[in-house]
Structure 1
């Protein structure tokens, strides 16, 4: 299990500051085994995909979004590649105004800036200015609507291996039959169980994972052609067409359209 972003004592205590924020840049993948703590937690990545398990929710989440985890909710995560992430831990009494179930929210610029500022604070009581920023973080989380944006992970261990491997390398274009052979099950079983457990066919799931990654790269101003090639598309036109069918606009207009 990876080292916690804050001490276990801090995570398990509702004494102390209203919020405790932390950021971490790790050159290696980060994996956190299922655990729980007394404080609520908002977590996200600065770049890259995360797979997150919280209660009976299992998601692939892009860096444009974050996951809210209420107090005492069992959860774990895995990054795909190096981990560049952040977390905010909120005392349980303040969580009464926040969602009571795990959910995904789109992060705002205001929230990200406030978290970065809070992550620089030293341990100990907050001064009045810091208290106002801490309250702003809680208010912003409360104001941001939950979104049905994450991509559900399958529960079957064989399908989970496939989905994790795909998220690690979204340019991998192996066919359903090839993935089934790799995981040790029939192509028919893979196709049926993927739909049963995720609501998507295998090809739809991979396509959706690629599009979630594309949103993050677009937000970082990566050229559309570069994104298409990184995600395994044969040409940029195929990527643009797929993006437009899903989101209703071209990649270049996605954020201009106010999303």
Structure 2
């Protein structure tokens, strides 16, 4: 009976695996465990790849991700995201505790190919980029926007992504989570094309990523509400170059004795 229950738990943990088939695909293995210190339940996620239905072993992965003649070490996948039937973006490290790198893996004529896009990438995590076909990649110092196909990596600075408008990324330059200014970056070449100081305005703190916050308030802005908040109070004024401006009908409070 205990063996049957254990088998059922294992099957439940493996149930979310991405269905297998042809192409390059991702398996997510969720391990559930209890903390002896706190008694709380926790989860850790491990990633494995399959090429045309067959598991990709550590040797294949190391050979693809390491330049010829170098020792691949121990390849560890920290995250993996599918960007097409034969393409996967991965965050990986070559040694336990080492810095991570971003790479695109693809399947070409049945062989696993890799292109390392960014290295090193300290303390990385994938996130939402607010537009289909793109991912965000936040590190300890900056934010990158990554297009899946064709693959491109654009560094957009340390800010929090608020919106994507007219091929521009609009970000809040955050000081202690409260925006000090907004700036716009071109998704063509990563150039900062405009900025707008917020010194005279009373603005909320901005969530860096999706969280448990259920709704925005005057003092805190949910990550999910960033595009609507930007559209309500600000605009991109067409011209050469494009300018970030405060809308004339904005609803933000203005600090006494200050003119925005």
Range into which the TM-score falls when normalised by the shorter chain: under 0.3
Q: Which has the higher helix share?
A: 1
Larger Rg: 2
Q: Which has the higher strand share?
A: 2
The TM-score normalised by the length of structure 2 is: 0.24
Which has the bigger relative contact order, CA under 8 A and spacing at least 6? 1
The TM-score normalised by the length of structure 1 is: 0.24
